[in-house]
Chain A
């Protein structure tokens, strides 16, 4: 027999085996597709969800605060150096504070900032209307009760210099911000002569990355105190770690169950075909050849299952991401080799294990139905 025809025969047998028992081949394939899809979806989510959740945690606002040592605040150069150190790894928002007086000589904290950045930094601020024009101020709800008598203009003064402002909107946070007046930073600087005294940074990334940025900031800015907002960083680490463990455990359970079902399905199938193997053996096939045949079949199933299951799993992960986080989940193509390898291992074990049990039995016994 020519080598080529042997290979042809091998493939013919594989093909016919699948075609003749479409139902069983289909249910085995379904089990593998479902298992690979579930594994892909879970692993993709496990990798991606942490990034998604970290983004949610950034809504807690600044996790690093830089305070100027000078009462005049940061110079434009110092501010620029902080911005370059942070780069695109976070949001940098300058704040400048001063104690002003209203017309009844009541003390009130005035803050200069960039409203657009502050809005991105603190999404939890409940603001009736964000100021857009010069001369408009954002007034905390408690300060508003004091300052705005007839919803009109109000005047506050700092070291004898007064400024007239129009309330652009009110701010409610349930914390100190409620007693303050916020105005545009350039106006604030022109009025008080004080530059940004505090820079709040919402740094993105893992806790190591945030820690690294904190150290770099400490090294680069000598004229300032840099510290982490422990309330935010520690809370985040805690919740994120526990969520990650829960996800990992769930992923492990699901992958394990799916693998077990593949095992049960394939083993049943191989057992069922013991008559076929007995005939092959009676016709002179070696144990090795039969094992090769079964292994080939299993490998083909695993490959087909992985190829069909991988995109299905990614689609499932994407769907979950869209439904829950309203953001796309980035596909993890580097998972494919691992999924394929996992599918191969499970199917090969499932196919070859029953074969070992069958090998002990004489073909004659099986053929006689014993």
Chain B
């Protein structure tokens, strides 16, 4: 009888049930999407923030001072220490290797070009590096995404060079022309524009810079672009003072400090540090955006909860007559409440199920449309959304059910309640 009552209620009042179920469905969908966005946005924005370029720098431990003003490097050629190029693949061997988005080595040398003293920087362009079985392709264009080239990027095994746009205006070397540097001539494959010091420099494959400097297999700095977690007070603690458990937690969190620490371990005789301009600010921005989306998600959850509860309450109010009739026929308070509770839970389950699917789809599509990569909604979220939907529908109808059950059947049937 109980099952039949519930079944008939759904069969005969399809339109009304649809209306309420629709509210629940959309409430659940928006909640799912918003929770998906709130949990996924940090990851997406940190990848976007990689547009700011390298946030970590590896330099030789015993290095002399940088003497550079603008694009001109004035450090004496003999000065300073070097890193081994052979150690570079180790970067992809550290614990947080998957967080290393890109890296590029740099070896500056001073050369004489058409009578001008200029700085040539050797780096990778599209170098494939193998560590173990994994292969990784990286270089300056990936590490510094704002670099633009008019012409072609040089190949890493070629003797082609790029000339900064300011320097190109001085030297009058269009793409395709030859430029003589230190006794041999190199083909200019493109004009580089960066809006920074490189505009007044020559950028060449690392091999070229090494042969001009007479330092085969050596480089000066490595710029690393990593996906980081914003630094907090725990991150700033000295790893040597931490307890083993804390140290593990510190080591296994992608803080700028811990990745720098791991880079330093991976590359012999090196010192790794965060580039504060990028690392600190991206941490700030990430925290702000994540916080904003979290608060908005909370507001969205409360909003859809209240709205669904209101829709549920109205739907219950209209069933006084029904309640009156059942009471007149001798139904007790408890079985009567159970009918309505079962109905709301059923609606919540249907709405929650469809809503979750819809929300997950929306989140995925949104991620693809805005960030070009999917936002995946964790399946773990499903019970949470379902529980929320049941709680909200139940809460919304509880008051109405209580009142409906308390009606005097006579008044309810006469339509005077």
Which residues of A line the B interface, CB within 8 A? 21, 23-24, 27-28, 30-31, 34-35, 37-38, 41-42, 45, 49, 52-53, 56-57, 59-61, 67, 97-99, 106-109, 122-126, 142-143, 146, 172-176, 178-179, 198, 225, 227-235, 238-239, 242-243, 245-247, 249-250, 253-254, 256-258, 260-262, 264-265, 267-269, 271-272, 275, 316, 320, 323-325
Contact residues in A for B308 (Cβ distance below 8 Å): 261
Residue contact A99 to B33, C-beta cutoff 8 Å: no
The CA-CA distance from A30 to B309 in the complex, in Å, is 10
Q: Decide yes or no: A257 and B304 within 8 Å by CB, A174-B274, A229-B196, A324-B291 being known contacts.
A: yes
Residue contact A231 to B53, C-beta cutoff 8 Å: yes
Residue contact B310 to A249, C-beta cutoff 8 Å: no
B295 at the interface (CB under 8 A from A): yes
Residue contact A108 to B65, C-beta cutoff 8 Å: yes
Stretch at the interface among B66-74, B179-187, B209-217, B337-345: B66-74
- Closest B residue, CB atoms, query A320: B295
Q: What would 5 A/B residue contacts be, using CB atoms closer than 8 Å?
A: A34-B306, A124-B277, A250-B37, A253-B29, A265-B23
Known: A34-B303, A261-B26, A261-B310. 13 other contacts (CB 8 A): A23-B400, A28-B314, A34-B306, A38-B299, A109-B67, A174-B57, A245-B369, A249-B370, A254-B34, A261-B304, A261-B307, A264-B22, A323-B291
For window 195-230 of B, CB contacts with A under 8 Å fall at 195-196, 199
- Closest A residue, CB atoms, query B289: A243
Contact residues in B for A126 (Cβ distance below 8 Å): 276
| Size bracket of the B interface | 35 or more
Which residues of B line the A interface, CB within 8 A? 16, 19-20, 22-23, 26-27, 29-30, 33-34, 37, 41, 44-45, 48-49, 51-53, 56-57, 63-70, 74-76, 144-146, 166, 193-196, 199, 273-281, 284-285, 288-289, 291-293, 295-296, 299-300, 303-304, 306-308, 310-311, 313-315, 317-318, 362, 366, 369-371, 400, 403, 415
Residue contact A239 to B285, C-beta cutoff 8 Å: yes
Contact residues in A for B23 (Cβ distance below 8 Å): 260-261, 264-265
Contact residues in B for A316 (Cβ distance below 8 Å): 299
Residue contact A231 to B146, C-beta cutoff 8 Å: yes
- Closest A residue, CB atoms, query B308: A261
Interface of B is mostly: helix
- Shortest Cβ gap from A183 to chain B (Å): 15
Contact residues in A for B45 (Cβ distance below 8 Å): 239, 242-243
Q: Decide yes or no: A258 and B307 within 8 Å by CB, A53-B289, A246-B370 being known contacts.
A: yes
Contact residues in A for B70 (Cβ distance below 8 Å): 67, 97, 198
The CA-CA distance from A38 to B3 in the complex, in Å, is 39
- Shortest Cβ gap from B70 to chain A (Å): 7
Residue contact A265 to B57, C-beta cutoff 8 Å: no
- Shortest Cβ gap from A208 to chain B (Å): 18
Q: Decide yes or no: A124 and B310 within 8 Å by CB, A260-B22, A260-B26 being known contacts.
A: no
The CA-CA distance from A214 to B180 in the complex, in Å, is 35
The CA-CA distance from A122 to B70 in the complex, in Å, is 18
Residue contact B67 to A99, C-beta cutoff 8 Å: yes
Instruction: Output the residue of A45, A258, A325 with the most chain B CB within 10 A.
Output: A258
Q: Decide yes or no: A106 and B65 within 8 Å by CB, A238-B48, A264-B22, A323-B291 being known contacts.
A: yes
Residue contact A268 to B303, C-beta cutoff 8 Å: no
- Closest B residue, CB atoms, query A317: B299
Contact of A268 among B274, B315, B362, B415 (CB under 8 A): B315
Residue contact B194 to A124, C-beta cutoff 8 Å: no
- Shortest Cβ gap from B354 to chain A (Å): 14
Contact of A41 among B16, B68, B299 (CB under 8 A): B299
The CA-CA distance from A90 to B64 in the complex, in Å, is 36
The CA-CA distance from A239 to B290 in the complex, in Å, is 13
The CA-CA distance from A247 to B300 in the complex, in Å, is 12
- Closest A residue, CB atoms, query B399: A23
- Closest A residue, CB atoms, query B277: A124
The CA-CA distance from A271 to B366 in the complex, in Å, is 36
Contact of B285 among A34, A56, A172, A198 (CB under 8 A): A56
Residue contact B318 to A172, C-beta cutoff 8 Å: no
Residue contact B195 to A231, C-beta cutoff 8 Å: yes
Residue contact B292 to A324, C-beta cutoff 8 Å: yes
Contact residues in B for A238 (Cβ distance below 8 Å): 48, 51
Residue contact A172 to B276, C-beta cutoff 8 Å: yes
Contact of B310 among A31, A235, A320 (CB under 8 A): A31
Residue contact A235 to B52, C-beta cutoff 8 Å: yes
- Closest A residue, CB atoms, query B280: A124
- Shortest Cβ gap from B287 to chain A (Å): 9
Residue contact A235 to B146, C-beta cutoff 8 Å: yes
- Shortest Cβ gap from B61 to chain A (Å): 12
The CA-CA distance from A243 to B41 in the complex, in Å, is 9
Contact residues in B for A176 (Cβ distance below 8 Å): 66, 68
Instruction: Output the residue of B196, B285, B362 with the most chain A CB within 10 A.
Output: B285
Residue contact A174 to B273, C-beta cutoff 8 Å: yes
Instruction: Output the residue of A35, A41, A261 with the most chain B CB within 10 A.
Output: A261
Q: Decide yes or no: A250 and B300 within 8 Å by CB, A60-B281, A231-B195, A260-B26 being known contacts.
A: yes
Contact residues in A for B34 (Cβ distance below 8 Å): 250, 253-254
Residue contact A175 to B275, C-beta cutoff 8 Å: yes
- Shortest Cβ gap from B104 to chain A (Å): 14
Contact of B51 among A30, A234, A265, A272 (CB under 8 A): A234
The CA-CA distance from A90 to B81 in the complex, in Å, is 40
The CA-CA distance from A347 to B279 in the complex, in Å, is 49
Contact of B318 among A233, A258, A271, A320 (CB under 8 A): A271
The CA-CA distance from A258 to B400 in the complex, in Å, is 21
